Amino acid sequence: MARQSQQLELVERPTKGIVPGKTFRQRTVAAPTAADLRDGQLLLECLYVSFDPAMRGWLDDRRSYLPPVQIGEVMRAMTICRVLASRSAKARPGDIVTTATMGIREVGIMPEAQVERPTLPALPGVRVTDLLGVFGMTALTAFFGMTRIGQPQPGETVVVSAAAGATGSVAAQIAKIRGARVVATAGSDEKCRWLREELGMDVALNYKDPDFKEKFKAATPKFIDVYFDNVGGEQLDLALGRANMFARFVMCGAISQYNAGTQSGPSRNFNTIISQRIKMQGFIVFDYAKDYRSALTQIAQWLGEGKLKRKETILKGGIAASEEAFRQLFQGGNMGKLMVEVKNPDETARL
């Protein structure tokens, strides 16, 4: 029987959060085969799908750094795939590749220009999922945001929000490696324990605690030199109120606002930007694409030396687990990098 392929398609743009059963539909289509390949193309099967807060923004029909996903299109996502058949010199059948454009589908044909054939460092314990995790886009985001924009100096105070997530956990550890005193914030006591006990953060605060504001103030007695912002909203306002003179605010993301409908920025402490001469810089990781290779070499070195630890939350259940993955992302279900396993790679997978 001909192989079938599940895919997740956008049906309706959400006005706030993604609505289960409404925003997307899962559809079964006939899977393409090797006979459909043209020169320069690869037939891929998906192993892992990355779930990223930015995917919520791709559903809005407005100007951004990427065009919106159109109604009826397969949802865009970064994926780890295995090559089933190839008419490209880039990869052979059985190879593991990554692509940012195949989207959430089980089987697809991709042009070679949109497929990366990554090499992973020869370190003990390196696994396929590291391509989305510690050697993936979120780790690179943490690396460039912290080292190029934040530039923490030894002894400075760095605050990282959503610090138990994929980007935040790496950003916070890089600040520690650079000798800073790091205050991490996250949404559960379990996450805070992990940040303190396993990642060695100086302070970890649960932003859902009723006395969070007081604790945040107490944790920043010398004020904040670098704020790595993953959440925006109230925590950003709070950090502005505690900013040191010439603080650097790394504007990485604002997940607290993505489902808000109407977005709100910092309000009460906005003028601190002027009085404390704060530098706020937004960035998109792609800005640093030419330096990815050297960043990955540095990340591999830290991983090998045990200075950097990684964590993944992997949901099973294939494409059907996508809605649960979105729910976890926006309700804090994940620790470290969130992904869905579409197909478990067997031991023949070549890295």
Ligand X SMILES: NC(=O)c1ccc[n+]([C@@H]2O[C@H](COP(=O)([O-])OP(=O)(O)OC[C@H]3O[C@@H](n4cnc5c(N)ncnc54)[C@H](OP(=O)(O)O)[C@@H]3O)[C@@H](O)[C@H]2O)c1
Per-residue CA distances from 291 to 140, 149, 288 (Å): 10, 14, 6
Q: Do 54 and 254 form a contact (C-beta atoms < 8 A)?
A: no
Of 172, 175, 153, 152, nearest to 162 by C-alpha is: 172
Torsion on CA atoms 88, 92, 97, 101, rounded to nearest 10: 30
Stretch that binds ligand X, among 1-9, 25-33, 125-133, 246-254 (CB under 6 A): 246-254
Judged by CB under 6 A, does residue 52 bind ligand X?
Answer: yes
> Which residue among 97, 115, 166, 239 contacts ligand X (CB under 6 A)?
166
By CB under 6 A, name the one of 252, 308, 314, 340 that touches ligand X: 252
Q: How far apart are CA 128 and CA 144, in angstroms?
A: 23
266 binds ligand X (CB under 6 A): no
Interface segment toward ligand X; rule CB under 6 A; list 51-59, 74-82, 102-110, 261-269: 51-59
Question: Which of 103, 133, 150, 165 touches ligand X (CB under 6 A)?
Answer: 165
Q: What are the distances in angstroms from CA 14 to CA 22, 57, 69, 72, 305?
A: 9, 10, 12, 14, 44
> Could you tell me how many residues of this chain bind ligand X (CB under 6 A)?
30
Interface segment toward ligand X; rule CB under 6 A; list 48-56, 85-93, 121-129, 272-280: 48-56
Q: How far is the CB of 95 from ligand X (least distance, A)?
A: 26
Interacting residues with ligand X between 179 and 238 (CB under 6 A):
186-188, 191, 230-231
Place of tokens 């070195």: 301
Can residue 255 be called a binding residue for ligand X (CB under 6 A)? yes
Q: How far is the CB of 137 from ligand X (least distance, A)?
A: 6
Q: Give ∠ CA 12-14-18 in degrees, rounded to 5.
A: 105
Contact 340, 315 (CB under 8 A): yes
Part in contact with ligand X (CB under 6 A); list of ranges 17-25, 72-80, 106-114, 249-257 = 249-257
Regarding 139 and contact with ligand X (CB under 6 A), the answer is: no
Render the burial of 270-296: b for 16+ CB within 10 Å, e for the rest.
eebbeebebebeeeebeebeeebeebb
If one asks whether residue 302 binds ligand X (CB under 6 A), the answer comes out as no
334 sits near ligand X (criterion: CB under 6 A): yes
Q: Does 129 bind ligand X (CB under 6 A)?
A: no
Q: Cβ 143 to ligand X, closest distance in Å?
A: 11
CA distance 120 to 126: 8
Residue 253 binds ligand X (CB under 6 A): yes
Q: By CB neighbour count within 10 A (0-12 exposed, 13-18 middle, 19+ buried), where does 123 fall? A: exposed
Q: Of the two residues 152 and 168, which places its CB atom closer to ligand X in the complex?
A: 168
Nearer to ligand X, 81 or 205 (CB): 205
Does residue 77 interact with ligand X by CB under 6 A? Answer: no
Positions touching ligand X (CB under 6 A) are: 52-54, 138, 141, 162, 164-168, 186-188, 191, 230-231, 252-256, 283-285, 329-330, 332, 334, 338
